[in-house]
Amino acid sequence: MRVLLLGGNGQVGRELRRTLPALGEVTVATRDGAGADMAADFDAPPALQALVQRLAPDVVVNAAAYTAVDRAESEPEAAFRVNAEAPAALARACAVTGALLLHYSTDYVFDGGNARPYREDDPAAPLGVYGASKWAGEEAIRAGGARHAILRTAWVYAAHGRNFLRTMLQLAAEREELRVVADQIGAPTPAAWIAEATAHILRRGVPASGTWHLTAAGGDQLARVRRGDHGRGAGSGSAGALPARAADYQRRLPNPGAAAGVFGAGHREAARRFRPRAPGLARRAARHRARTGPGALKALRRA
């Protein structure tokens, strides 16, 4: 199997570098080509199409995205270029070459209004530019004629990159007291596990195009995740945590998973079983015992 990995320097991309080589030959591309086999500029979608058609891989894994949720509100053109126009170009190229396109999307295609976790067939209702751009990318892939697997994930974290767990570790080391959001529910999902699941999906094969939700099992309050043992054994201090409401913070957009537990089962018992710990993050996020949300691997196994 010949795999083209796009976005090889991101949280998920770095972990995919570890899991994909077991499948065959992997060509890694990053925005500027640094530390990779080549460059793939998502600000130039036509060049991406030419790249895929020239390499003719069996699989294109797109782990690249514009992910600055708040900044997207003032940079809509950039967000749509990377999250919608680029995936559209990739889909056109994959349709020509016959490659499978595996693409990652997000819970931000929903508005958080559900009283239950979201299913794959729930109608999209993005609240802002970021979610709208990701939804437009999904729709472009579906219309592009390529074989595809769209995997929606949420609350991704890793031992590298920018994510909420690393942010809280840093703040805990700098402050004596933290105010953390206590009214958001979600399923923190290790990038390492997403990469493992992706390799498993590709190894088994994708029998039909579709969209699946790929998150860790259960759900938890954001405050509990951010608060949980960040000060024990991590060299990060022992800052206390005070609950706060998401509305207290001047973010332009709320987390859409807040009301519905994102994709995973938002049951209290499931939440108790999943407790990310800072030392585990340092040792590698892959050590967390994570399972799929209500789609993904289970759906592919039945197919």
Which range is most confident: 148-157, 225-234, 249-258?
148-157
The pLDDT of residue 221 is above 80: no
Residue 199 pLDDT more than 70? yes
The token pair that represents 197 in the structure block: 């699941």
Q: Please state the pTM of the whole predicted model.
A: 0.77
Residue 130 annotated among the catalytic residues of the structure: yes
Range name among 135-139, 174-178, 244-248 with the lowest pLDDT average: 244-248
Q: Which of 204, 229, 225, 220 is nearest to 279 (CA)?
A: 229
Active-site entry in 108, 130, 157, 249:
130
Please tell me the predicted confidence (pLDDT) of residue 50. Answer: 96
Rounded to 10 deg, the angle between the 86-97 and 129-143 helix axes is: 20
pLDDT, tens digit, for every residue of 150-180?
999 998 886 666 656 656 566 666 666 666 6
Mean pLDDT, range 125-151, rounded to an integer: 97
In whole numbers, what is the pLDDT of the chain averaged over residues? 77
